[in-house]
Structure 1
Amino acid sequence: MQSVIDKSEFKKLFNALRGHYSIVGPVARDGVIVLDRVDYDEIPSGFEDIQQPGHYRLSKEHDSFFSFRPGPDSLKKFLHPSLFIQHSFDRSKKTGFINAEHDRGKPYAFIGVRACDITALDRMNRVFEGCDGSECGYFGQREIFIAAIACSRPSGNCFCSSMNSGPDIKKGFDILLTELTNVFMVEIGSEKGKHVCTNLNARPATAQEAEEKKRRTEECSTFMKKTMDIDDMPHFLYRQFESSVWTEVAERCLACGNCTQVCPTCFCNTSFDLVTLSGMKKQNEFSGKRMKKWDSCFSRNFARVHGGNFRLSRRARYRHWFNHKFGYWLEQYGVSGCVGCGRCITWCPVGIDVTEEMERLRGRC
């Protein structure tokens, strides 16, 4: 059943979640929408963003709460931290490796999650299936609360409709909010969501409000300018392995790794030891930590192994990243590694657009 709440009731959602959850949501900081721990008064109401290839601008022009689209942050920032302690060790105590103790604290409640990021969470859960976070550094399968927000306008770089990851949200949420003119429509997706909604003063949605919600979702797909042709994947990409397009895009690519850092499903990582010699009394007495951090397949040293580097050129690195997103994922996990959020397009400093590169591979531009 669809219900509605006045926008003044939105604050009660925070009150209902605060006791059990650590609330994370969008905040405006340094001219960009980021995700951080947030309270009701910090939600960036009235902001709108303009996103184009290699371009992001934020302005305050609207009265609505959620007229902005996703910024560079995704749920990955909190559920798959960029720096993580895998183990600790202490040679003076001859303990060897010890699993690090991770304080679970309060579970996260995410406010304002979009369809693309809900899909990305499902994809990451496939990758890290069976991991509780203690070794792999992924916490998406622990208890979390998702308060999703339906998109009514896409950014200039969105193509989630092509990737079957939005804009309509059918599952993966505890509650789904759709911002209408004067109210929020509320849909319940779980028992947790049902329990939280008992704290809200809701009424049944009218036929007019239900129609407005449907119209806004349909318009979001209609207004989406970018599309991605994923027909005959992954086999089409494998036939393009020696295409000259890879050489051409490599001449523009800086191999900076921005696309992999903002992508909600990229999970390349590396490990290193952080060793301290303080307090050492005897030779070979030291302690330290085995750290795991985000890396990027665009990094020059990412493919370095004993005997050489098997992916030294930017051409090879870009091709590998592109093929992994749109090809290898399908064989590994049965789904694409791209959710069409458009972050890699927005935050590429030279404006490389994956939808255009796919068109070039298909000989259409």
Structure 2
Amino acid sequence: MRHSLGPLLRRATVGTVALAALWVPGGSPAAAPAAPEASGITFGRRYHALQHGGIVRAANVSITCRATPGAPSCGDVQRGARGVNGDFDMFYVDVDDDANTYNSSRAEVRLPAGSRVTYARLYWGGNLRVGEQKPPEDNGRVLFAEPGGAYKELLADTVVGHRVADGADAFQASADVTRQVQESGPGLYTVAQVNVAAGKSAAGAWGGWTLVVAYENPAEPLRTIALWDGFAPLKSRGAQEMRLRGLRFPAGAGGVAGLVAYNGDRGTTGDSFTLTADQNGSADLSNPANPANDVLNSTISDPEAAPTARVPAYANTLGYDSDVFDLAGRLRRAGDEATFRLRSQRDTAWAGVLFAAVDAQR
């Protein structure tokens, strides 16, 4: 269930949409009931806390390019050159040396020393229809391995967003993994068997996963920590907006805000991620990897100088965005309300997750 947010969350409804089985080696997973689905999920609060600590995430892709006649160099694109998924015959990323999986990738959860995990959730999603059609019955399951551990089947524990629109057969699923991350701590996590289609089409192949982790740490500032999720196409439904009320942040407050979105193309401008906070006005969030007018540009980016580890670590993810933005300098005046707004004017992108950790007034 979603944790109750109370007065901190107000769903936007005018002009925007609220942004709101066992795995058997050598065989197929045992049968499990398919998770319930909905063609659209209004964004709402998944987790909220007021605590000393913060929020981090690990993320990676499940599919990438391969050499395709008439397309740019796949290697150059993986290293960061411009290129979009619709240009390529896309194929699976598979790093685990396990013949029983057809896609797998790894990413690092990095936590400050002395931290205690208070909540963790895994999100995964992609496009089911490209050169092949994947069965939607598998949307709600993946394989999940903690650092140094073996795969365990993970099933979605809430409604799966699944909708055919804008040329794609798109989905996002998620599951609570708090216990697993509390027990295993920081390190490289592996996610396999994300239900994404390979091949080439105008819509393009795309998909990946993000593990969001909230933590408590007495050495860090008191912060309001919030996680929202949902599933909606941005181009056909406009912006996604989430508002935090009763936030009570001091002048000069710091923090981070992050997003997960699907099928944003590098070089297609018109995407923005905007923070509006009381008397501070509005500011488009950006970082060296994400221009202010092209934040949905196929990147997995961090505000830290030393980014978290990924295997593989492609600079152009070809349709998967999991980005974290530093809020330093954005909250010069004290206030008690902040609004985050994700918008795409030209990309046929899908919004999936938004999260924030903001210094709180003592």
Normalised to the residue count of structure 2, the TM-score between the two structures is 0.24
Question: Rg larger in 1 or in 2?
Answer: 1
* Higher helix content, 1 or 2: 1
* Higher strand content, 1 or 2: 2
Larger RCO of the pair (alpha carbons < 8 Å, separation 6+):
2
